[in-house]
Amino acid sequence: MRILHTSDWHIGRTFHGNSTMGALAEVLAALTAQVREYAVDVVVVAGDVFDSATPAGEAYTLLGDTLVSLHETGARVIVTSGNHDSAARLGFQARLLRDGIHVLTDPLGIGTPITVTDADGPVQFFGIPYLEPAIVRQHWPAGDSEGRPLRTQAQTMAHAMDLVRTAMSTYPGRSVAIAHCFAAGVDATVGLEREVRQGGLDVVPLSVFDGPDYVALGHIHGRQQVSERVRYAGAPLHYSFGEQHKERGSWLVELDAAGLAAVEWVPLPVPRGLVTLTGTLDEILSSGNVAAHAGEWVCAIYTDALPQREPMRRLRERYPYCAMVQHQPSSDAVADERSYSQRLRAAASDTDRIEAFLEHVRAGQGPTEREGELIREVLDDRVRAEALV
């Protein structure tokens, strides 16, 4: 059996104020073509289908069109909810979907698998929707295996996997678990993958996922191999400059009669590349840079000592897809550890005071040679004017 593991579509997300709907539609169409090319039997979407609990109408349209296209390849489709999704909104039409498309959002259904049979027998797919402890603990008032209330993501996921392992003894055959969480040992994209809860209590130990032949996880936007049989597929589209060097794609998982046989990475196209350009504004706007990156999403970090006038306007004249600009002045000056007030008190002249001010507002860089000349001219003019009074 061939399974395509994808996740974190985040339909409806914007990229620095720009819609990603068209680009995501292009990528999901490519994913559908891969399902047909590789004769995939089951497509697994491990949560965060939408980017918002209240998606816009066009987000539902793209999801519906994609599910229908995947179904038309002959593959079964199994979708679970993530922390960005509203389980109620994602799952409300589950009963209306055509046979072969399954949207799993009910935590009470964790122990009831979707069974798909091939020549080697049944494969049991256990979908675990995103589990917010404060919301779902009402379903399991007895708590975890030690009788403790389910207060953390780790406890709640452990309980859910206990339900899966118990069900595995009832439903024979190979098994696949689908979940949405932070697993121990993963490398998250800083500022992007919002933690399920704050702090480290909700990191789920790898041992929690013991049992199934394969565990398809979602929530991390870059592909991750936590173990040979526990993996993240990542998002199919870049949603942050922090992701720009991470490949986009899916895991093609093959099960034989004995269980996990092979896992292959299947890359997806990138509709528009991302690049971060660092240097002075003139360097960033150089002909060489423009020729190489004018068609990409650009994050420009300019290092001029002073803020430049209308940097975004100037950048977009050369880079139509400049999405972000930051001013990070570089300075080779020796750092003065004194505070600004201390430097002012130590100044022996007006020239020293002006230099201290410029160093303070320019991150350590004092006046240029020409600026020094102008400062001295102005101060000399003031002295001469005062002498005439």
Domain ranges in the chain are: 2-267, 274-327, 340-387
Selection from 82, 352, 367, 122 nearest residue 235 by Cα: 82
* 115 closest CA partner among 100, 129, 98: 100
Tens digit of pLDDT for each residue in 22-77?
999 999 999 999 999 999 999 999 999 999 888 899 999 999 999 999 999 999 99
Alpha-carbon dihedral of residues 379, 382, 387, 389, nearest 10 degrees?
-170
For 219-348, list the strands marked E by DSSP.
Answer: 224-227, 230-232, 249-256, 259-267, 274-279, 297-302, 322-327
DSSP conformational letter for 108:
G
Q: Which of 219, 152, 144, 151 is nearest to 187 (CA)?
A: 219
CATH of 2-267, one of 3.30.450.40, 3.60.21.10, 3.90.420.10, 3.40.50.10860: 3.60.21.10
pLDDT tens-digit profile of 67-111? 999 999 999 999 999 888 877 777 766 655 778 999 999 999 999
Closest CA relative to residue 209, chosen from 193, 226, 188, 197: 226
What is the three-state SS of 201-214? CCCECHHHHCCCCE
pLDDT at 368: 78
Place of tokens 């009963």: 95
Evaluate if residue 378 carries a pLDDT over 70: yes
Distance between the two ends of the chain, CA-based, in angstroms?
97
What is the value of pTM for the model shown? 0.82
Q: What's the pLDDT score for residue 333?
A: 44
pLDDT 10s digits, 188-216: 655 555 544 433 447 899 999 999 999 99
Which tokens in the block code for residue 46? 């491990």
pLDDT 10s digits, 230-245: 999 999 999 999 899 9
* Host H or E run for residue 387: helix 369-387
| pLDDT 10s digits, 251-281 | 999 999 999 999 999 999 999 999 999 999 9
Q: What is the mean pLDDT of residues 341-348?
A: 78
Q: Which amino acid is at 90?
A: L
Q: At what angle do helices 21-37 and 57-72 cross, to 10 degrees?
A: 10
What pLDDT, on a 0 to 100 scale, did the predictor assign at position 330? Answer: 76
